[in-house]
Amino acid sequence: MLLRGKAAAMDNFLQIFQASPFLFVTLPLLVFITIFFFTNPRRKLPYPPGPKGYPIIGNMMMMDQLTHRGLARLAKLYGGLLHLKMGAVHFVAVSTPEMAREVLQVQDSVFANRSANIAITYLTYDRADMAFANYGPFWRQMRKVSVMKLFSRRRAESWASIHEEVDATVKTVTERTGLEVNIGELVFSLTKNVIYRAAFGSVSHEGQDEFVKIMQEFSKLFGAFNIADFFPWLGWIHAQAFNKRLARARESLDGFIDIIIDEHIEKKKNVNGEDEKDEAADADMVDELMAFYNEDRDGTNNLIKLTRDNIKAIIMDVMFGGTETVASTIEWAMAELMKSPEELQKVQEELADKVGLNRVVHESDLEKLTYLKCAIKETLRLHPPIPLLLHETAEETVVSGYKIPAKSRVMINAYAIGQDPSAWEDPAEFKPSRFLREGAPDFKGTDFEYIPFGSGRRSCPGMQLGLYALEFSVAHLLHCFNWELPNGMKATELDMSDMFGLTAPRASRLIAVPSYRLSCPLTIV
C-alpha cells in the first residue's frame, strides 16, 4: 500500500517534468547554484580586519582617515591588511612589506587595475591614458609607446632641458645670495619648465601659466568629493554643477592642447627629407606621439593607434607624474639635510672632494656622489611623493585568508611601509648611511620595504628620468651654495609636516638664505 503510494507520487512528479521541460532544466540548475553558493569556501571567509561601519554608509564617517598618515595609524590597530567600506565601495589598505609583496608580486595580475572616480574617468578622456587605464591590451599598448618614446634612457639623456633649467635655477639663486629664497617655488618652477619643454618643445611662459592653471583645476577635481562615487544612485544630488565644472576643465585642456597638436601637424607637413633628421634629434613628446597618430592614418602601422584623446591624456600623465613628484622630493631633501647639519656637511664634503670647488657639477660626476644618492634614497623613504599607490582588484581574491571582493579600491601605503619598524631601524630618523651597507634595499621594486616608485607592472616608468633630475638638481644646489635658515631659526624648529593630495608635499614652503660656495665665478657649461 505504502509502496503503491510512493510510486503514484513519483508518477505525478515525472508527469510535472514531462509537462514542463523548462522546469526539467532549471530546477537542477537552481539546486546546483544553491549548493555551490553555500559550499563555496570563499563565502565564509571574512573581509580583512577593520573598524566597524554603520549600515548603508559603512565607514564613510572616517573619510578623513583615507590619507597615508590616517591609514598608517589604522594599520597599527588593525594590521597590515585593512578593510573599510565607503558606501557601496570596498577599500583595502596595505601597510606592511609582506602584504605589499602579496599584492604587487604574488597576485600582481589581480591587483594591476587602477581605480578611477567619475572625475578622473571624465578628465582622462574615459581613461585614454596609461596611468588610469585598467591593466590589459590597451594599457600595454600605451605603456609600450610611452616607454619606447617618452621615458627611454636615450631620450632621458637627450633631455638637455634638465641641464638648461638647472643652470637657470642656479643663476637665479646666485642673484639672490644673502636674501631669502623660497626653495619650494624655485624647484616647482624648475621641474615644471623641464617637463613642459620636454612635452611641448616650447619655452613660452605665457602658455605655461595657462597650463599650470588647468593642471591645478584638474588636480582639485581629481580629489573632489562626489557622492556618486560611493552611491551611484545618488549621483543626481550635485551632478549638474559638478559635471559642468568637469566639462569646463576638459574644454580648457582641449583648447590648449588642440592648438599645440595642430601646430605640430603643420610643422611636420613643412619638414621634409634631410630636415626630418634634424627635427628627430630635438623632437618633443607631442612629435613622438604624433608619429603614431599619422602612421595609423596612413595605414602603415596597424600595431599602435593613437587618437587625439590618447595624446592629450598621455601628456597629462607626464605632467602630473613628473612635476610635483620631483619638485617635492628636491624640497624634502633640502629640508631634511638642513634639519640634520652633520648629514648636510657629509654631502657637501663629498661634493668638494669628488668634484672640487673650481667648477660646477657635470652629469658624469653623479656616479661618484654616493652619499648624495643615499641622502636622496633616504628622503624618498621618509617622504615618498606618491604615498598611496592606488590600484583596484580585477576579480575577487583571497589574501592571507581574507576575502577581497572584485573592484575593491586598494591603497598600498608606501609611506607606512617605508617606516615599518620590523624592516627599518629607527624608522623615523633621517639616516642616509643606512643605504651604504651591503644589500641595502634598492628602488628596483623587489625590496618590498622600499617602494617609492612602486613595484611590478604598474611601477613608475619615469623612474630613471625622475632620479636624474633629482640628483642633478640637489647636487647643484648644495655644491654651489651654503644654506642658512632665515631669521636665526634653529634646525630643530623647522616644520616637517606634510599635506595630502595626489602627492604629499611640505605643508609650508622651505625658505632659506643662500651664500655662494664655489671658489670660481659661476660659469655655466
Contacts with ligand HEM, residue ranges (CB under 6 A): 130-131, 143, 317-318, 321-322, 325-326, 329, 385-386, 389, 452-454, 458-462, 465-466, 470
> Given the complex with ligand HEM, which of 338 and 465 has the nearer CB atom?
465
> Given the complex with ligand HEM, which of 343 and 392 has the nearer CB atom?
392
CA distance 426 to 439: 18
CA distance 52 to 72: 17
CB 161, min distance to ligand HEM, A: 12
CA distance 330 to 443: 17
Task: Give the dihedral of Cα atoms 73, 79, 82, 84; nearest 10 deg.
Answer: -60
> Given the complex with ligand HEM, which of 119 and 470 has the nearer CB atom?
470
CA distance 299 to 313: 23
Residues 6+ apart with CB under 8 A from 477: 169, 170, 173, 183, 330, 334, 483
3-state DSSP helix/strand/coil percent for the chain, to nearest 5?
A: 60, 10, 35
> Given the complex with ligand HEM, which of 48 and 462 has the nearer CB atom?
462
> Given the complex with ligand HEM, which of 228 and 417 has the nearer CB atom?
417
CB 66, min distance to ligand HEM, A: 16
Instruction: Classify 342 as helix, strand or coil.
Output: helix
Q: How many CA atoms lie within 13 A of 481 on its CB side?
A: 25
CB 41, min distance to ligand HEM, A: 30
CB 455, min distance to ligand HEM, A: 7
Which has the closest alpha carbon to 371: 335, 354, 346? Answer: 346
CB 241, min distance to ligand HEM, A: 30
Q: Are 290 and 267 in contact (CB under 8 A)?
A: no
> Given the complex with ligand HEM, which of 242 and 476 has the nearer CB atom?
476
CB 387, min distance to ligand HEM, A: 9
> Given the complex with ligand HEM, which of 115 and 348 has the nearer CB atom?
115
CA distance 444 to 423: 17
Q: How far apart are the first and last CA of the chain?
A: 110
Q: Are 491 and 339 in contact (CB under 8 A)?
A: yes
Q: Which residue has the cell 629640508?
A: 335
Q: Which residue has the cell 643605504?
A: 435
CB 136, min distance to ligand HEM, A: 12
CB 231, min distance to ligand HEM, A: 26
> Given the complex with ligand HEM, which of 228 and 317 has the nearer CB atom?
317
Q: Which residue has the cell 594590521?
A: 79
Q: Which residue is nearest to ligand HEM (CB)?
A: 462
